[in-house]
């Protein structure tokens, strides 16, 4: 008798759970169909995760090869969104922006009733993976997010299998003397192959401007640079072509990580 009652209760519970799941699924809103990005990082996520027909426009920098990793594919989509006026004309049902996007633009779009999702700046691989999953779910394709995460994890495993470099130090020294701080994605990536960001002691964890003399005196083992070509294209790049850096850091002591 008791077994029969338990069996009936289990069946009733299973039926209720199934009904609840179906109700939730029926109540779930459809994925957005007109997504606009006004952020270069959001451009990359949309191109990787959304259906082409879901993308109403990418940002006005989406096709800049110096900033956008997917500049080529981005050219196949509208890419002129940057301020509130350019976005409103597109009548989006979702807007992706960054937390550094102009506050006036974000506030105006919010006051007009548009849904604006702000992307955080990524300071670690784990945070990047979390953001991929969030955006994949938001655009209605969580399976694509998981596939991209699997690719990243496979690359991390491959990097972890490399022989460790023996605790070498690295300075990510950029235009005008900006040194990337220890609270950064670059630091996380370096650490995963056994390298240490030398910024600790030079600048704040968030990074900052450091004099050339300090870099030379500190003598980190390697430099992270955007390109091997040190020909200065403007005043901001001239510092990186200084003879002291050329002498201390020949090509074999430079790690190329393009800005894009």
Element (H, E) at 17: helix 2-27
Distance CA 86, CA 63 (A): 17
pTM here is 0.83
Q: Which of 163-167, 207-211, 222-226, 254-258 has the lowest mean pLDDT?
A: 163-167
Work out whether the CA dihedral 146, 151, 154, 159 comes out positive or negative: negative
| Ordered DSSP codes for 199-253 | TBTTB-TT-EE--HHHHHHH--SEEEES-S----SSHHHHGGG-HHHHHHS-GGG
Mean pLDDT for the chain overall: 87
pLDDT digits (tens, 9 = 90+) for 145-193: 999 999 999 999 999 898 888 889 999 998 889 999 999 999 999 999 8
Helix (H) or strand (E) run with residue 170 in it: strand 169-174
Give, in order, the Cα–Cα distances in Å from 74 to each of 62, 63, 257.
6, 6, 21
**Span 82-96, mean pLDDT?**
95
How many other β-carbons are positioned within 10 Å of the β-carbon of residue 85? 10
* Phi, psi dihedrals of residue 126, rounded to the nearest 5°: -60, -40
Pair 175, 227: CB distance under 8 Å: no
Give me the mean pLDDT over the 229-233 stretch: 77
Tens digits of residue pLDDT in 21-40: 444 444 568 999 999 999 99
Positive or negative: CA dihedral 53, 57, 63, 66: negative
181 with 204: CB under 8 angstroms?
Answer: yes
Q: What is the pLDDT of residue 240?
A: 86
Separation CA 8–CA 230 (nearest Å): 76
Q: Between the CA atoms of 37, 39, 40 and 43, what dihedral angle is there, to the nearest 10 degrees?
A: -20
Strand (E) or helix (H) holding 128: helix 125-138
Least confident segment among 137-141, 234-238, 250-254? 234-238
Most confident among 40-44, 100-104, 163-167 (mean pLDDT): 40-44
Alpha-carbon gap, residue 89 to 82, rounded angstroms: 12
Place of tokens 């901001």: 236
Mean pLDDT, rounded, for 205-225: 91
Q: What is the CA radius of gyration of the chain?
A: 24
Tell me the residue length of the chain: 260
| Both structure tokens of 135 | 């955006």
Lowest mean pLDDT among 5-9, 100-104, 114-118, 250-254: 5-9
Predicted local confidence at residue 27, as pLDDT:
58
């Amino acid at each position: 008798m008791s077994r029969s009652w338990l069996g009936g209760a289990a069946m009733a519970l299973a039926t209720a759970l199934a009904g609840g799941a179906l109700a939730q699924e029926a109540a779930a809103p459809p994925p957005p169909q007109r997504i606009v990005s006004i952020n270069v990082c959001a451009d990359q996520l949309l191109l990787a995760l959304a259906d082409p027909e879901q993308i109403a426009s990418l940002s006005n920098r989406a096709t800049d090869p110096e900033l956008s990793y997917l500049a080529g594919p981005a050219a196949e989509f509208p890419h002129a969104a940057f301020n509130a006026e350019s976005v409103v004309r597109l009548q989006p049902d979702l807007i992706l922006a960054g937390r550094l996007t102009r506050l006036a633009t974000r506030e105006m779009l919010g006051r007009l009733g548009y849904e604006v999702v702000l992307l955080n700046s990524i300071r670690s691989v784990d945070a990047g993976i979390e953001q991929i999953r969030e955006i994949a779910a938001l655009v209605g394709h969580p399976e694509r997010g998981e596939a991209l995460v699997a690719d990243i994890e496979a690359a991390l495993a491959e990097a972890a299998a490399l022989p460790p470099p023996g605790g070498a130090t690295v300075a990510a020294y950029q235009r005008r003397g900006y040194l990337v701080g220890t609270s950064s994605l670059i630091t996380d990536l370096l650490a995963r192959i056994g390298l240490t960001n030398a910024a600790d002691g030079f600048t704040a964890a968030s990074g900052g401007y450091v004099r050339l003399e300090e870099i030379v005196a500190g003598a980190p083992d390697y430099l992270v640079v955007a390109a091997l070509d040190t020909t200065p294209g403007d005043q901001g790049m001239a510092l990186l072509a200084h003879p002291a850096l050329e002498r201390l850091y020949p090509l074999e002591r430079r790690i190329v990580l393009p800005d894009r």
